[in-house]
């Protein structure tokens, strides 16, 4: 899978480790920043990732910040983005099954790196259920 990834300084360490992990697993990963632990503004990187997913430059995305909320609210300003926050494996499964999240968002300051890997694995291997969930998703965009 061709994935985009982005974080602010709070998610930087996990982002770097996830890039190595996913690349070793054979995925192509495009890094939309940030590129150091220096304090930065999460919208700068979340918008870059959202644009890449919306344009089809990457198929799906992964985003991290301290709580996950900053990147999630930024990503979800984009009509083509369904960014879902997950901090446990059952939520990571449901965020694909029910919400068809095309960006997985994680709260780096509140989960272990081991958990982040588990969440990515679950989200990547779960299928969207469609049906009533598609009907609900069709009502999400602001016309």
Catalytic positions: 65, 98
At its nearest, how many Å lie between ligand RB5 and the CB of residue 110? 9
Contacts with ligand RB5, residue ranges (CB under 6 A): 8, 10, 42, 65-67, 69-70
Q: Which is nearer to ligand RB5, 12 or 123 (CB)?
A: 12
Strands 60-65, 2-7: pairing is parallel
Sequential DSSP letters for 110-122: TS-HHHHHHHHHH
Cα 69 to chain centroid, rounded: 11
**Integer angstrom CA distances of residue 32 from 94, 95, 129:** 26, 23, 29
Q: Which is nearer to ligand RB5, 38 or 138 (CB)?
A: 38
At its nearest, how many Å lie between ligand RB5 and the CB of residue 2? 26
At its nearest, how many Å lie between ligand RB5 and the CB of residue 40? 9
Q: Which is nearer to ligand RB5, 20 or 69 (CB)?
A: 69
Residue nearest to ligand RB5 (CB): 70
Tell me the sheet residues that pair with 106: 64
Rg (Cα) of the chain, in Å, rounded?
A: 14
């Amino acid at each position: 899978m061709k994935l985009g990834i982005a974080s602010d300084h709070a998610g930087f360490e996990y982002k770097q480790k996830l890039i190595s992990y996913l690349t070793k697993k054979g995925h192509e990963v495009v890094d939309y920043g940030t590129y150091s632990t220096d304090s930065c503004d999460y919208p700068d990187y979340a918008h870059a990732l959202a644009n890449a997913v919306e344009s089809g430059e990457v198929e799906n995305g992964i985003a991290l910040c301290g709580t996950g909320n900053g990147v999630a609210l930024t990503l979800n300003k984009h009509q083509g983005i369904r960014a879902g926050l997950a901090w446990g494996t059952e939520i990571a499964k449901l965020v694909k099954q029910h919400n068809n999240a095309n960006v997985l968002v994680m709260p780096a300051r509140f989960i272990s790196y081991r958990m982040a890997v588990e969440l990515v694995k679950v989200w990547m291997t779960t299928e969207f259920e469609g049906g009533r969930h598609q009907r609900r998703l069709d009502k999400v965009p602001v016309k």
